[in-house]
Amino acid sequence: MIKCHLSKLIGKHKHSLADVHRLTGLSRATLHRLYHETNDAIRYETIKKLCSLYRCQVVDLIKWIPDNKVNDENGQTDSVPGMP
């Protein structure tokens, strides 16, 4: 699974989606999908613009979480039984 931390970056910098749209030129639809993590893909140009705006590394924007990891009721990440 890929997690997008755009919502955290926006909150940290006290921006709105409209602010990010205005500052980067990215479409509101693209930003909405990233913010709500409903996107299927992300273009390098989009990553570049967001990292430039927030002066961050790619890992600060997106993170890979292995699919064999799940959250238990306490929010802890454990391996799925039978998976390495």
The dihedrals phi and psi of 35, each to the nearest 5 degrees, come to -60, -40
Does residue 73 carry a pLDDT above 60? no
Does residue 83 carry a pLDDT above 70? no
CA dihedral for 48, 7, 60, 13, sign (positive or negative):
positive
Task: Identify which has the larger pLDDT, 66 or 21.
Answer: 21
Q: Which fold has domain 2-65?
A: 434 Repressor (Amino-terminal Domain) (1.10.260)
Does residue 80 carry a pLDDT above 70? no
Strand spans (E) along 1-84: 2-4, 62-64, 69-71, 77-79
Average pLDDT estimate for 49-71:
89
Does residue 79 carry a pLDDT above 90? no
The predicted pLDDT at position 66 comes to: 87
